[in-house]
Amino acid sequence: MNIPDFLLRFVLALLVGGSAIFAYSYWINMNLSTNSHKVHKLTGYQHGKAGIILFSSPTCAPCKTVQKPMIERILSKMGNSLQFLEIDASLQPDLANEWGVVSVPTIYLVEPSGKSRFVHFGLVNEKKLTEQLKELL
Amino acid sequence: MNPRFVDQNALRTNQAVIIAFLLIGFIFDLVGLVYFTAFAMLVGTLFSAPAFKPIYQYLVQPLGIAKPEVMQDDPNAHRFAQFIGGLFLLAGSTFLYYGLSLPGWTLTFVVIGLASINLLTGFCVGCFFYFQLGKIGFFKTANQSPE
């Protein structure tokens, strides 16, 4: 039986797409595992508290106008259970490189144990961020 | 410099349409759809608009599928990303036109992959290169937004 050409192409597209998703997930997991517990080295980090680490820069407009106000809103709702650290990637490029930051804003969500659990390269919406933070608490 | 704004949902719609057209083009071997997408992306760049803005404006918005989500952002970065995507597709289309399927579809899949990353994670690879080039002085305004 001949398999229709479009079906073969569909399967090929699925395979390519699946491989790309796998590669991306692998990269994210690698990034999170290499950064696991690095948070302890950050100045101002409080042990035993879940946290949001925001890598930004003074020239990043969405960091200032969208991401940071959003984080502040979340912090005001979630109270003292969370800590927030903002790192200026332009002032600490070595630290940003060490964390694998390729663009700003980049946000890491860290468990109370210090383990990096989620990472977002680019803007993230409030609903998703809140849901993920609830998982950490 | 005055703040500039970008409707993020217009960009997402654009990315989704690009991915859909290119995947349909590949699955049903409709090379013309790849040419059309490349053409739309390059023309869109010329007019400083997302390639498939009319679909967002006249279909997605009126049907209530997505509402405008306007954020302060650099439209030039997205324009540059679309331009690079259009060039990749133009190269892919040229290969496909001359019957060179492997490089043609490979370049097409690069565009599908980059658009998917942008759509699913919000990380715009083209914008990243725009800002990196800006840092070394290629674009005057590129240092006004993400590093």
- Residue B73's pLDDT is 79
- Residue B146's pLDDT is 44
The confidence band for B142, taking pLDDT boundaries of 50, 70 and 90, is low
CA distance A70 to chain B (A): 12
Residue ranges of E strands in B11-145: 70-72
The answer, yes or no, to whether residue B147 has pLDDT greater than 60, is no
Q: Which residues pair with B5 in a beta bridge?
A: B72
The answer to whether the Cβ–Cβ distance between A61 and B3 falls below 8 Å is: yes
Spatial separation of the C-alpha atoms in residues B92 and A17, rounded to whole Å: 18
Pairing type for strands A50-56 and A106-110 reads antiparallel
Interval B29-70: pLDDT, tens: 999 999 999 999 999 999 989 999 999 999 999 999 988 888
Give counts: helices (H), strands (E), chain B.
6, 2
The phi, psi pair for B64, rounded to 5°, reads: 75, 20
- Residue B94's pLDDT is 96
Interval A52-92: pLDDT, tens: 999 998 888 788 888 999 999 999 988 778 999 999 998 99
Q: Are A54 and A105 in contact (CB under 8 A)?
A: yes
Interval A1-21: pLDDT, tens: 577 888 999 999 999 888 888
- Domain locations in chain B as residue ranges: 5-144
The phi, psi pair for B72, rounded to 5°, reads: -70, 125
Spatial separation of the C-alpha atoms in residues B90 and B80, rounded to whole Å: 15
Q: Are A68 and A54 in contact (CB under 8 A)?
A: yes
Residues of A in contact with B128 (CB under 8 A): 102-103
The answer, yes or no, to whether residue B3 has pLDDT greater than 80, is no
The answer, yes or no, to whether residue B129 has pLDDT greater than 70, is yes
The amino acid at A5: D
The closest alpha carbon to A51, from A80, A82, A88, belongs to A82
Q: Is the ipTM of this complex over 0.90?
A: no
Tokens of B128: 């990243």
Domains of chain A, CATH where assigned: 35-136 (3.40.30.10)
Interface mutation target, options B15, B110, B147, chain A, most CBs of A under 10 Å: B147
> Across chain A, what does the average pLDDT equal?
88
CA distance A114 to chain B (A): 24
